[in-house]
Structure 1
Amino acid sequence: MRDADPQESDPRLSAISAQSTRVARTANTQRESVNVALSRPDPAGWSPRKPWFSQMLAQSVLVWIVVTFFILDWTAPSQASAQGLFPVSNSAAPDFDENPLAWPSLHGYSGLWDTPSARALPDWRLRLAWSQAYPHRIWSAGLGLFDFLEVHGQLSEVTTREGFPGEPYGTYKDRSFGLKAVLVREDRHLPQIALGFQDIFGTGLFASRYLALSRNVHLGSGDAELHLGLGQGVLGGESFFDDPEEGDDSPRIAGGFHTSSPWRTTRPFGGLSLGLADGLRLHLEYTSLKRDDLFGHDREAGPPLNIGLAWRVADSVTLQAAVLGGREMGLGLAADFPLQAEGLFAWQPPPKIEDREQLRWEAMTADDAGLAAIVTRELASDGFSEVRCRVAAEALWIEAEDERFLSPARSLARMARVALAASPPRTRLLYLNLVSAGRVSQSLASGRQNLADFLDSRIDREAFLHIASLHAGSAEHRREFDAFGPASSADGPRDPWNFALEPKVRAFLNNRGGFLKHKAFLRSAAQWRPWPATLAVGELETVLYNEYDDLRFEPLEDGAVRTDMLSYEQRRGTWASMLAVDQMFSLPADVLGRASAGWFEPAFAGVGAELFRFFQDGQWGLGLEAEAVRKRSLDSQLGLSDDKTLYHSGFVNIYMQLWPEQGLDAGLKLGRFLAGDVGGRLELRRTRNHWTIGVWCSLTDTHRFDSAENREARDIGLFVSLPLALFHDREVSGRFTYAVGNSLTDAGQTVRQPRSLFPLSPDETAHETLRDIEELRR
């Protein structure tokens, strides 16, 4: 479970240099809001029944769409028609960027207007959208994964319902999540087929499941696309108000709909999409929705036919306008773009390393001590920090930190080029070590000529790795280097201080006191590293603006671990949020250790410790972690609460790269959480192009709690971490992270730490660097 700031409650996010706020809400707010909204009667005289003529007309149009598509298919150019039923020429299914097929619907998923298609967003492409279709206003986000999955989330505002009558909350809001899986990819003989689920978590107001088919046919300079499907739940004409069917234990479709029998009410849907001009399409749709049965709808609906235009204005922006049921307007605005590190500005390449004749002569005439000093000087002047060089006979050992690049491979490449330029030909073996928090995180050993040939593309990856070796720790390479005998060393200059001043905003979502309340503050941070592995950190938060006084949220327990957070967040003035010391250390067999003590976050102070070790060059890892803390005083900066309760946690941490080629990895915490509840927390995430998107789920034994909200707690959430290089004209390190969870409870809680050994992403592992070793050439 995370509180309003993921950096303060999740130790795995504490190392991120730029952090946003997370939004949280109470578990019971959603249920109360639904009950209040349902209790309001619809206007007198409103009837959910439609004339039979409208149904017959709409179904006739669906049949006409299918027949028309067959005719268009058979009258398509002969070179395509000779290929079989539903032919597809090379131009029939163009590239997404040239003629996008995954057009946005008005409901978050890819489709026409109301109904989904079998199309899915391409891998690692994000779509942000807004739509208006009475009585709903929807903000949504969709993401393509692995070229066969599309996940999407929606925040739906029901403009005809109040969330809490008489409260400042405003109109009713509902959050939902869905996914679509492509089962069959379109080819010459088969349509594309997808299976989807909508509103998997939440109230179930819009719960649906569906099977969709899509087929594209080339028409000269344009194309036509047929979409057909079968829907259940809301897409099957059911309503949140309907009574359960026999054998279904859930009340209405809000409960166990997605696990209920597949033989429930099913309705067909379909439509035709015609390319009229470059970027302009006409969508004609027969919808399976019963619009006047939708939650919040208080008008008589027309026939289930929708027609409108979708216009792709630019490479990433789509405008939509439709007539829904012949009576209402639907509008949409969507933007989609690939997730990549280089964003708003084209990156300027790093300065080239010049071949200086004076430097070559200086290196050739220097002894071992002089050569160590030269290489140290050149690395420090290039921008590396915490530099240390050792020279023994024909071997050169380098340790250095680098925070300029997004990947360790790029840092190793830069280090290699500087070392090759600053060392003479007699240096035949190089050991390059990237250092993080005073310990070697990745170690590369290579012969001089082998490394130079690979950097200059004279040999391929296999030939390079036949001689070179890369490991997650330095133990093996250090033994090799020590065999060369006594070494001369030199250390670069150190700047032990680091200061930061960051504006921050926290948000609390979905509370009776208001849908969205903010707290703005200025965080002043200072870090002191008297030794490479030692970190002392202090943070002050100066409150600039605070709406948390308006929130109505009481602690769920007498001895609440996290749900008393408002007592700390409602304070004004300047407060010390962290004052702690953290020490890293290396143990035998490449085991890493960490110990910390101090005031960790506004609510807790105490001690913590962690051990971790990677295996198979980072493909998986195993660790131990423990914390013991007490509550801090609300009235003094560094005092402790009168409550003497000692909260302690202990975990076994497991890390695994599940699908290294796709950047998919997982972290699992098993053990005792702060409130004494025992269980686990699973975090599944994907890192690609230096973007990380992940989900977490905590499940613990909650019988020890008194409140129903804590006993029913199932903490589920989503986080996005993007590179700050998006906003720069050059490659820079640093990340911005935003997280959102489904509830705020005392179950599954951890305490923030100054640093963490548990990995944030596959980018940190030697195995990932080996896979992307070609980045050394860039």
Structure 2
Amino acid sequence: MQRKYFKHTLQSGAILCFWAPALIAQADGLASYGSPGLLDMPSATATADGTLNWTTSLMDGHTRNSLHFQITPRLSGVFRYSILRKFDGYNTDLYDRSFDLHYLLRDERQHFPAIAFGLRDFGGTEVFASEYLVASKHFMGNRLTVTGGIGWGRLASFGEFRNPLSVLGAGFKNRPVYGWDINDTGRVSFDRFFRGDAAFFGGIEYQANDQTRLVLEYSSDAYMQEVATMGFKHRTPINVGLNYRYNDHLTLNAAVIGGAQAELGFTYMLDPRAPRAPGGTERPAPVLMPQAEIAALGWSLENLNASNTRLEAALRRQKLDLQSYAQSGSTAQIVMQNPSYRAEAEALGRAAREMANTLPAEIDTFEITLAKGGMPTSRTVIRRADLHEMEHAWDGSWQSFVRADISDAPDRLPPAPGVYPQLGWDILPYFRSSLFDPDDPVRMDVGLAASASYKIAPGFSLNAVVRQKVIGTLDQSTRLSNSILPHVRSDAPLYDKLQGPEITLLTADYLFRPGNNLYGRVSAGIFEQMYGGVSSEVLWYPQGSSLALGAELNYVAQREPGSRMGFTDYRIATGHASAYYDFGNSYRGQLDVGRYLAGDWGGTLTLSREFDNGFRIGAFMTLTDVPFDDFGEGSFDKGISFTIPLDWITGEPTRTGFSQTIRPILRDGGARVGIAHRLYEEVRSSNASDLEHGWGKFWR
């Protein structure tokens, strides 16, 4: 069964900067804000490149939950969700979403400290809004770290003095003050950066042993709002704390803030490049039989049916699907699909070895065409003699890639009799969540999803997903949309109130090749929970290219809330021109420009980091011609997303995974319809550029 349909049922719905491969000082720890620092104050350190860190900090009535990602060796970002009880002094709680950036300007040298600057809460309610410039230096074999810096905004609320940057211009002297309005959140106030009074902060960290770190800091944060309305006490700028490293992933934190507030918390570190089963648990790869033994078996070159039968059975054992087999002289040609291995190179390597073990000795060349949904995507030619020569070579992976001939596959062999039509199905659990509803910040549903795919011909299939909630709270939301735009997304809670089985996908899809380096798709039916219609797409993506260009055109209707098959009167044509680019070093970018569901025009920029094992973290932002005031809370659409491959957790070969998109707020501006089988994601794993990235698994 094509479990990839289940991936769409799991979805509940980066910032890329300068690359500097120099060695840098590793972080002594993360501050309570989730970014590199002491207790509350930042430091000029960084975590290990590519790592994710979740930090939770608990004080009386004040909770911070922060997700930190080390985007590059120098640049890191934080998404924070904070809960401040009775923040207005009465009974109103503040559920605050905020973003941070931290950038290491220079490394620590023998006689000079590392230097970093950062922005806190630069696109939220600005409750924590501040900027800083900080330096850190290690001593005593890195056991002692000394940090000192200067801060603005909230980091200049204690011990403040006149901004030294005011010598550059009068504009730095005062920090603009705005009346707080929920509709103003999400905007970046560039005119406040490094403005107004400044203050010094600093501290020392002492690594007592491998597990225990002691911290003493002088804080420039007076917790003014918390003291004024939440009953906080701030008696001293001196904060003290202790961090205990329980294991390689978990650190426990305790501190006294302001001489009066107890703070407890933890940090959990995750390295996406370190799967739970590093070597994988897939079955052993086939070992090449000596060529003399193959020749001694006397298999006939003319008996194609026997060759096809042996090869089909062998590929089935490797969990690969043989669709076509043919011979041309001494060349064997196959078309196969890989439903099992994340790295297409692993599928190619196993298929090539099985071909060498099951085909007549006279065959000296293997031509393997990879297909997605029956649509041919790329063709790899491998010589039999090269396989035997490189099987035990110390650099066999690199040599096999250099000698393989990877090219475009605009056409394919006819499918073998009996391959089509083909029915596949599966039943798996699903999980959906809704975050940041002020009435209940976390809602979720858990249930079962039944998916089915009926493949009629190469590229042409009927697909369906039906899910049934078992338990959950998504239907308990009572908040009504106040959007002045067409309610293309803000009415999403209404769709969660449907009782009984829910159809979330019911489409006819046709994938085809219009020409060399071109891919096409036509889809019709129910695309997702809220929309159905017709969709077409074309993609230009040459083999080995870092750049791909695409165009998509949709005509969709909004589904009726509470109805399984009904539609409202809302109809709209949408479409986008897209550019995809692989920057290398696991960084990718995507730019989509066009018309969105509410009729607004604009563009979406997505930047992500994707590791070779399929673990992906990204960030996106959309700006359209909808004014910030009309958009409402959040000002514009933005968020972060991540994908965790299932084989990263289990080690078992699979192409499925868990994907989640986190938006601070779901509004109507910049909304797109969800479409399965968008071409770039369908074909890129079999493009020569991605094959090269994963070729280290060719001999797995």
Shorter-chain TM-score bucket reads: 0.7 to 0.9
Residue 664 of structure 1 and its aligned partner are, at CA, apart by: 1.0
- Listed one character per residue, the Cα deviations across residues 709-750 of structure 1 (whole Å, up to 9, x for unaligned) are 369841001101011013324332211001111322222222
Q: Which amino acid aligns with 1:159?
A: R
Which stretch has the larger CA shift, 119-128 or 210-219?
210-219
Selected match of 2:45 from 111, 119, 134 = 119
Match of 1:39 in 2: none
User: Paired residue for 1:287?
Assistant: 219
- In structure 2, the residue matched to 1:58 is none
| Residues 271-282 of structure 1: pairs in structure 2 closer than 5 A | 271-282=203-214
C-alpha separation between the residues in 2 aligned to 1:233 and 1:224? 29
Greater RCO (CA < 8 Å, at least 6 residues apart)? 1
CA deviation after TM superposition for structure 1 residue 304, in Å: 0.7
- What SS does the aligned partner of 1:277 have? coil
Secondary structure of the 1:444 match is strand
Is residue 236 of structure 2 the alignment partner of residue 307 of structure 1?
A: no
Matched residue type, 1:307: V
Aligned to 2:202: 270
How much has 1:328 moved relative to structure 2? 2.3
Partner AA of 1:724 in structure 2: L
Task: Give the Cα–Cα distance (whole angstroms) in 2 for the partners of residues 412 and 120 of structure 1.
Answer: 39
Does the CA-based 8 Å contact 1:379-1:387 persist in structure 2?
no
Structure-2 change in CA distance of 1:577 and 1:262 (3 Å): closer
Instruction: Tell me how far 1:356 sits from its aligned partner.
Output: 6.0
Q: CA deviation at 1:504?
A: 3.2
Partner of 2:324: 388
Residues 245 and 297 (structure 1 numbering): CA distance in 2 closer, same or farther, change over 3 Å?
Answer: farther
In 2, the alpha carbon distance for the partners of 1:671 and 1:547 equals 31
Shift of 1:759: 2.7
Aligned to 2:588: 665
| Secondary structure in 1 matching 2:85 | strand
Distance in 2 between the 1:177 and 1:470 partners? 43
Q: How does 1:144-155 map to 2 (within 5 A)?
A: 144-155=70-81
Contact persistence 1:235–1:289 (CA under 8 A): yes
- Contact 2:353–2:387 at 8 Å: present in 1 too? no
| Rounded Cα–Cα distance in structure 2 between residues aligned with 1:209 and 1:576 | 48
TM-score (norm. length: structure 2): 0.87
Within the alignment, does 1:217 sit opposite 2:217 as a pair? no
- 1:389–1:491 contact (8 Å) kept in structure 2: no
Task: Return the match for 1:17 from 7, 20, 32.
Answer: 7
Q: Are the structure 2 counterparts of residues 491 and 95 from structure 1 closer, same or farther at C-alpha, using a change threshold of 3 Å?
A: farther
- 1:583 and 2:496 correspond: no
The equivalent position to 1:236 in structure 2, one of 156, 159, 165, is 156
**Higher CA-based Rg:** 1
Output the amino acid matched with 2:43: S
Aligned twin of 1:174: 96
Give how far 1:621 is off: 1.0
Kindly state the Cα deviation for residue 519 of structure 1 after the two structures are TM-superposed: 4.0
The alpha carbon displacement at 1:351 in A equals: 2.2
Match of 1:531 among 432, 443, 457: 457
Cα drift, residue 573 of structure 1: 2.2
AA of the residue aligned to 1:224: L
Question: Which residue of 198, 210, 213 corresponds with 2:120?
Answer: 198
State the match for 1:700 in structure 2: 624
CA contact (8 A) 2:50 2:69 kept: yes
| Matched position secondary structure for 2:457 | coil
Instruction: Say if 1:453 and 1:459, in contact at 8 Å, map to a contact too.
Output: no
Match of 1:406 among 329, 342, 357: 342
| Range 14-23 or range 549-558, more displaced | 14-23
CA drift of 1:382 comes to 2.6
User: Is the 1:663–1:762 Cα contact (8 Å) retained in structure 2?
Assistant: no
More helix, by proportion? 1
Please report the TM-score for the alignment, with normalisation by the length of structure 1.
0.78
TM-aligned CA distance change 1:710 to 1:581, over 3 Å:
farther
Q: Secondary structure at the match of 2:541?
A: strand
Residue 671 of structure 2 corresponds to: 749
Pairing partner for 2:649 from 723, 727, 738: 727
* Match in the other structure for 2:359: 423
2:321 and 2:339 map into 1 onto residues whose CA distance is: 9
Determine the C-alpha separation between the residues in 2 that align with 1:263 and 1:604.
Answer: 46
| Cα distance, 1:638–1:563 mapped onto 2, change above 3 Å | same
Q: Hey, what's the Cα distance between the residues in 2 that align with 1:398 and 1:380?
A: 14
Shift of 1:646: 2.7
Q: Does the 8 Å contact 1:405/1:733 carry over to 2?
A: yes
Deviation at 1:396, TM superposition (A): 1.5
CA gap of 1:488–1:399, structure 2 versus 1, over 3 A, is: closer
Indicate which of 294, 312, 331 corresponds to 2:264: 331
Question: Which residue does 2:302 correspond to in 1?
Answer: 367
Cα deviations by residue, 1:25-54 (Å, 9 ceiling, x for unpaired):
xxxxxxxxxxxxxxxxxxxxxxxxxxxxxx
Instruction: Work out whether residues 454 and 777 of structure 1, in 8 Å CA contact, stay in contact via their aligned partners in 2.
Output: no
Structure 1 residue 387: Cα displacement = 2.9
Aligned residues: 668
Please list every run of 5 or more consecutive structure 1 residues that lacks an aligned counterpart in the other structure: 1-12, 24-93, 479-486
Gaps of 5+ in 2: 14-22, 160-170
Corresponding residue for residue 138 of structure 1: 64
Code of the aligned partner of 1:611: V
Alignment CA distance shift 1:495-1:723 (3 Å): farther
Q: Relative to 1, partners in 2 of residues 1:603 and 1:17: Cα closer, same or farther, differing over 3 Å?
A: closer
CA RMSD of aligned residues (A): 3.3
Measured against aligned partners, the alpha-carbon deviations of 1:6-31 in whole angstroms (never above 9, x if no partner) come to: xxxxxxx98672654537xxxxxxxx
Answer whether contact 1:138 1:156 (CA < 8 A) is retained: yes
1:459/1:548 CA distance change after superposition, 3 Å: closer
SS in 2 for 1:322: strand
Say whether the 8 Å CA contact 2:427–2:450 is kept in structure 1: yes
2:19 aligns with none
Alpha-carbon distance in structure 2 between the residues aligned to 1:551 and 1:750: 24
Tell me if structure 1 keeps the 8 A contact 2:591–2:604.
Answer: yes
One-letter code of the match for 2:590? G
**Corresponding residue SS for 1:601:** coil
Report the equivalent of 2:430: 504
- Tell me which moved more, 768-777 or 182-191: 768-777
Q: Distance in 2 between matches of 1:110 and 1:405?
A: 37
Contact 1:364 1:424 in 2 (8 A): yes
Partner of 1:449: 385
In structure 2, the CA distance between the partners of 1:571 and 1:196, relative to structure 1 (3 Å rule), is: same
* Amino acid across the alignment from 1:646: R
Tell me the residue number matched to 1:601.
528
- Amino acid of the residue matched to residue 652 of structure 2? R
Alignment of 1:66-105 (within 5 A): 101-105=27-31
- C-alpha change, 1:324 and 1:695, in structure 2 (3 Å) is same
For the residue of structure 2 that corresponds to 1:529, the secondary structure is strand
Query: Is the contact between residue 280 and residue 311 of structure 1 (CA under 8 Å) also seen in structure 2?
Result: yes
Q: Is the 8 A contact 2:607 2:618 kept in 1?
A: yes
Aligned to 1:319: 252
Pick closer, same or farther for the CA change 1:530–1:467 going to 2, 3 Å: same
Q: In the alignment, is the contact (CA less than 8 A) between 1:404 and 1:731 conserved in 2?
A: yes
CA distance in 2, matches of 1:677, 1:719: 23
Residues 76-110 of structure 1 deviation map (CA, whole Å, 9 limit, x = unaligned): xxxxxxxxxxxxxxxxxx999xxx63312112112
Asked if 1 retains the 8 angstrom alpha-carbon contact of 2:367 and 2:380, the reply is yes
Q: Residues 360 and 311 from structure 1, CA distance in 2 versus in 1: closer, same or farther, beyond 3 angstroms?
A: farther
| C-alpha distance after superposition, 1:543-585 (max 9, x if no partner) | 4444534421136248532333333222222232322111111
Q: For residues 96-142 of structure 1, give each alpha carbon's deviation from its aligned partner in whole angstroms, at most 9, with x where no partner exists.
A: 9xxx6331211211211110111111111111121123442111121
Q: Which residue, out of 350, 368, 374, partners 2:283?
A: 350
| Distance in 1 (alpha carbons) for counterparts of 2:469 and 2:210 | 51
- Report the CA distance shift for 1:490/1:422 in structure 2 as closer, same or farther (over 3 A): farther
Q: Matches of 1:580 and 1:339 in 2, distance apart?
A: 34
Give the partner amino acid of 1:302: R
Residues 431 and 445, structure 2, Cα contact 8 Å, conserved in 1: yes
Aligned to 1:572: 499
CA contact (8 A) 1:580 1:754 kept: no
